[in-house]
Amino acid sequence: EGVKPKEYTIVKLKVVAPFVEVMKPFEGKNVYFGAATLRPETMYGQTNCWLAPEGEYGAFQINKDDILVLTERAALNLAYQGHSEVRGKINKLATFKGQDLFGTALESPLSINKVIYTLPMLTVSTKKTTGVVTSVPSDSPDDYAALNDLKTKPKLREKFGLKDEWVLGFDPVEIINIPEYGNCVAPVLCEKYKITSQNQAEPLELAKDEAYLKGFNFGTMLQGEFKGTPVKDAKPLIRDLLIKNGQAIPYAE
């Protein structure tokens, strides 16, 4: 943890039918996966949601209407940031292991894919943010590498009991243009740094930094109401809009 808190956006991915076994008690309720992102402007390009397979998650009542699935430490932080029934107190309704939630269908704000599925990423940490990460393989090298692992390794899908339809057919969506990098920076950088798996921490770090820097400084939006706007300008506008519409929560840690 750094000295200066980071400003994340928790995007609310709504759980929709068919509910997986452990989610069945929540049918008919407003349950959301709380995905922490630093790039709210990329939400058009979501293809899936990542959880740590061995991670512990909970369902927390954060106000009278909404239930959020995330780590307990994030729920406690949120309880001090205005998102709990009683300040500083959590109301935990259930405990889950990440792998029991795979295949959960989600509807996410701004996403061009109307329904996306919950899948494993081995590098998701439950020690920071919410432990829930929404996946944008067009602009995040980590997401691209992890989705590609699941697509190209049937054994890996089998290991986690993933249905092909949750994974195959979800390709990067063109959401941001960056001169000299094209409309999908992550696959371009994964090739440049010879990244072929989600476990290649060092080249992924380089690719991630380059994607972030070039996207922020030189990117232009290709989708949505800010199409044609520089990423730099669209980013805070999209964040504010999501928050104003009740589709996201500002989160600091």
User: What is the rounded distance in angstroms from the CA atom of residue 166 to the CA atom of residue 231?
Assistant: 30
CB of 231 to ligand A2H, least distance (A): 11
Footprint on this chain of ligand A2H (rule: CB under 6 A): 6, 36-39, 42, 123-125, 128-129, 131, 133-136, 139-140, 143, 208, 212
User: What is the rounded distance in angstroms from the CA atom of residue 167 to the CA atom of residue 207?
Assistant: 23
Of 103 and 219, nearer to ligand A2H (C-beta) is 219
Of 29 and 97, nearer to ligand A2H (C-beta) is 97
Of 103 and 172, nearer to ligand A2H (C-beta) is 172
CB of 61 to ligand A2H, least distance (A): 22
Of 63 and 125, nearer to ligand A2H (C-beta) is 125
CB of 156 to ligand A2H, least distance (A): 18
70-98 as b/e: b if 16+ CB within 10 A: bbbbbbebbbeeebbeeeeebbeeeebeb
CB of 95 to ligand A2H, least distance (A): 18
Of 44 and 166, nearer to ligand A2H (C-beta) is 44
Of 115 and 213, nearer to ligand A2H (C-beta) is 213
Whether the Cβ atoms of residue 188 and residue 144 lie closer than 8 Å to each other: no
CB of 64 to ligand A2H, least distance (A): 27
CB of 131 to ligand A2H, least distance (A): 5
